[in-house]
């Protein structure tokens, strides 16, 4: 029986592909060291278009305007360049309002393609560029601690991690955020207030790692300029002990937070990386493993949601109180208690 893996590793080799959504230009070289917020590639995603009425600008009918057009399709023009004219005693002209490329010119009009600010692909983790993917992106490798979560707002940040969550059940409020935290990555527990996210942006913080978050806060978090990552899910849930112990013991270290959305089809998840020196035997991470006795597991759903334990046995069909008949697994928790849960509710912690 296979189960998905949530990586909570004290030290591992981490290799990530960073890809542009479309073809673009790579701005780093193989073997180059990069930080999490460095731009590694660029692409123009959505050019804007401007349709200029040259006839009106010159005061001529369309058929006569074409005789005075000074550009053709494919030309590049800078802001202020003459597109048509001069005409008449007043030497009337029409100039390009912005730097652009001419798409169509004729019929008394010109269509310009204006390049917006290019999309910048960030490295998302500090490390070394191991390979280049032509016109699409790079492969970056580093070593360190890896902690994966379940939700992120898409932001990327890097900074010194300060721990506000002294217990797994911590609740974050606005008054706990101080000006002295500016430029830091904050580790906290549950967030139920929109004002907390707004305050994080006003300071600003470089990242916010939460155990859980109220669903009502999601719209504000999605728009926040601060990278926000949730480890456990929505509703008030304590931080799992494996992640809590690993993160809190690395307080005052620089961490990279990549709060990209969780995509089960590509395997990408929001994650925190703590760069650490590589020992001789780093663990190699896998996305799927066999569910077998002795594995450390994480319970996904109630009534034991968020708990971490050891798998005692797996397999065998059982009818649960919900009426669902499913493959079962027996788990022993850290406090010595045991519970029989559906195997589908488990993730392996590696």
pLDDT for residue 4 is more than 90: no
Domain boundaries, the chain: 2-43+121-275, 48-114, 291-349
Query: Taking a C-beta distance cutoff of 8 angstroms, is the pair 311, 317 a contact?
Result: no
**Please, which residues have CB within 8 angstroms of residue 144's CB and are 6 or more apart in sequence?**
11, 12, 14, 273, 274, 275, 276
Q: Whole-angstrom Cα distance, residue 308 to residue 82? A: 69
Structure confidence at residue 288 (pLDDT): 62
pLDDT for residue 213 is more than 90: yes
DSSP 19-56: E-SS--EE-S-TT-EE-TT-EEEEE----EEEEEEHHH
Query: E strand or H helix at 198, and its extent?
Result: helix 194-202
Among residues 152, 229, 291, the alpha carbon closest in space to that of 299 is found at 291
Distances (CA, A) of 318 to 15, 103, 122, 328: 40, 66, 47, 6
Among residues 203, 173, 204, the alpha carbon closest in space to that of 188 is found at 173
Among residues 59, 43, 56, 58, the alpha carbon closest in space to that of 133 is found at 43
Q: pLDDT (tens digit, 9 = 90+) per residue, 67-95?
A: 888 888 889 999 899 998 888 888 889 99
- Architecture of the domain defined by 2-43+121-275: 3-Layer(bba) Sandwich (3.50)
| Average pLDDT of the residues of the chain | 88
Kindly report the CATH class assigned to 291-349: mainly beta
Paired sense of beta strands 325-333 and 39-43, if any = unpaired
Q: Whole-angstrom Cα distance, residue 297 to residue 307? A: 8
Kindly report the CATH class assigned to 48-114: mainly beta
Q: Which residue has the higher pLDDT, 104 or 266?
A: 104
Q: pLDDT (tens digit, 9 = 90+) per residue, 249-261?
A: 999 999 999 999 9
Mean pLDDT within 303-326: 81
pTM: predicted TM-score of the whole model, two decimal places: 0.76
Query: E strand or H helix at 203, and its extent?
Result: none
Q: Whole-angstrom Cα distance, residue 230 to residue 149? A: 6
Which value, to the nearest 10 degrees, does the dihedral of the CA atoms of residues 124, 125, 130, 136 take? 0
Q: Whole-angstrom Cα distance, residue 163 to residue 249? A: 10
Among residues 223, 228, 164, 221, the alpha carbon closest in space to that of 193 is found at 221
């Amino acid at each position: 029986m296979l189960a998905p893996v949530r990586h909570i590793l004290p030290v591992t080799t981490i290799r990530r592909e960073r890809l542009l959504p479309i073809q673009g230009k790579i701005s780093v070289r193989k073997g180059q060291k990069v930080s999490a917020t460095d731009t590694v590639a660029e692409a123009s995603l959505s050019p804007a278009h401007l349709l200029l009425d040259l006839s009106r600008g010159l005061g001529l009918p369309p058929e006569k305007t074409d005789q005075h057009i000074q550009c053709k399709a494919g030309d590049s023009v800078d802001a202020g360049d003459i597109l048509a004219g001069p005409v008449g005693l007043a030497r009337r002209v029409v100039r390009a309002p912005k730097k652009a490329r001419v798409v169509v010119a004729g019929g008394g009009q010109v269509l310009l393609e204006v390049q917006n600010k290019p999309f910048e692909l960030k490295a998302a983790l500090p490390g070394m560029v191991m390979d280049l993917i032509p016109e699409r992106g790079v492969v970056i490798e580093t070593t360190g601690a890896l902690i994966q979560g379940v939700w992120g707002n898409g932001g990327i940040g890097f900074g010194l991690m300060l721990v506000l969550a002294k217990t797994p059940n911590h609740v974050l409020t606005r008054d706990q955020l101080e000006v002295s935290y500016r430029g830091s990555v904050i580790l906290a527990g549950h967030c139920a207030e929109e004002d907390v996210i707004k305050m994080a942006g006003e300071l600003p913080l470089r990242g916010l790692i939460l155990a859980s978050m109220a669903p009502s806060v999601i719209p504000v978090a999605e728009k926040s300029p601060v990278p926000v990552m949730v480890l456990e899910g929505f509703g008030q849930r304590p931080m799992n002990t494996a992640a809590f112990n690993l993160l809190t013991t690395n307080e005052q270290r620089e961490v990279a937070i990549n709060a990209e959305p969780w995509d089960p089809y590509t395997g990408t998840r929001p994650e925190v990386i703590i760069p650490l020196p590589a020992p001789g035997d780093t663990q190699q991470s896998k996305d799927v493993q066999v569910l077998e006795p002795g594995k450390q597991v994480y319970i996904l759903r109630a009534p034991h949601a968020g708990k971490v334990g050891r798998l005692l046995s797996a397999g065998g069909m059982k009818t649960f109180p919900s009426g669902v008949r499913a493959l079962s697994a027996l788990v022993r928790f850290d406090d010595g208690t045991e519970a029989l849960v559906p195997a589908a509710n488990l993730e392996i912690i590696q």
